């Protein structure tokens, strides 16, 4: 833990970031990467701290249904939704991105997501799964997350499911970044205070570090 567990002000104007601990995700690697990017980081499942933080990171690995169950078990859904509604920054990573959508369909079982983004998570229509390793992305004009990054920047992916249809996202006003692995899929989303990445920025070396710095620059520092 690199931040203050009491949720007090971060030193020197550093952004106070909570990495939400609900039993899933690369918590420590996310903590280290965010700290290296200049944040004051706490890994916790405390909802008051999650609500009060300057920025909230929702990680996630494994199954969609298991991650939703973990969020429900600690009652974090309303906190995440409340932050988004209030325009307070949230970053979802990997399955932490997926659960922000309306639903996830795994092995024929549909699980309701948080519904903060339109669309459904489904199995990639790819011959080789999981999609594991480095891949490029196609970021839209005006992207904040990918600002200053070369077009051929590579990010680290580990997943078999994703949002394949970006039409509803685009119609909602989101900036949508895509990637290709036998098929196109949503690699990142930016809409207001809500950002999300299907890849792991915390495992994506300097390109991931640059993306995290870009995200932190959008997070207002608290008192």
Q: Break the chain into its structural domains and give their ranges.
A: 16-217
Q: Match 């948080």 to its residue by tokens.
A: 114
User: What confidence score (pLDDT) does residue 4 get?
Assistant: 41
- Residues of the chain with pLDDT below 70 are 1-12, 223
CB 176 within 8 A of CB 142: no
Beta strand 90-93 with 101-106 is unpaired
User: What confidence score (pLDDT) does residue 7 get?
Assistant: 44
User: What confidence score (pLDDT) does residue 8 get?
Assistant: 47
Catalytic residues: 94, 200, 202
Query: What CATH number matches the domain at 16-217, 3.40.50.10470, 3.40.50.300, 3.40.50.880, 1.20.1280.50?
Result: 3.40.50.880
User: What confidence score (pLDDT) does residue 123 get?
Assistant: 97
User: What confidence score (pLDDT) does residue 33 get?
Assistant: 97
pTM across the whole model = 0.93
User: What confidence score (pLDDT) does residue 222 get?
Assistant: 79
């Amino acid at each position: 833990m690199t931040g203050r567990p009491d949720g007090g002000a971060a030193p020197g104007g550093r952004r106070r970031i909570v990495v939400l601990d609900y039993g899933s995700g690369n918590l420590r690697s996310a903590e280290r990467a965010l700290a290296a990017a200049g944040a004051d980081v706490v890994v916790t499942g405390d909802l008051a701290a999650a609500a009060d933080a300057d920025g909230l990171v929702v990680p996630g690995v494994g199954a969609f249904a298991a991650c939703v169950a973990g969020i429900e078990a600690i009652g974090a859904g309303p906190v995440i939704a409340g932050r988004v509604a209030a325009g307070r920054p949230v970053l979802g990573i990997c399955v932490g991105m997926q659960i922000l959508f309306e639903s996830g369909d795994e092995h024929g079982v549909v699980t309701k997501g948080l519904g903060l983004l339109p669309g459904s998570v489904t199995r990639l229509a790819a011959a080789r799964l999981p999609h594991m390793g480095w891949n490029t992305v196609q970021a839209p004009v005006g992207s904040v997350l990918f600002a200053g990054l070369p077009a051929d920047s590579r990010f680290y992916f580990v997943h078999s499911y994703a949002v394949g249809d970006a039409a509803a996202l685009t119609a909602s006003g989101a900036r949508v970044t895509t990637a290709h692995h036998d098929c196109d899929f949503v690699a990142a989303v930016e809409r207001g205070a809500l950002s999300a990445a299907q890849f792991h920025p915390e495992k994506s070396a300097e390109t991931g570090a640059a993306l995290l710095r870009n995200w932190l620059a959008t997070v207002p520092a608290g008192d």
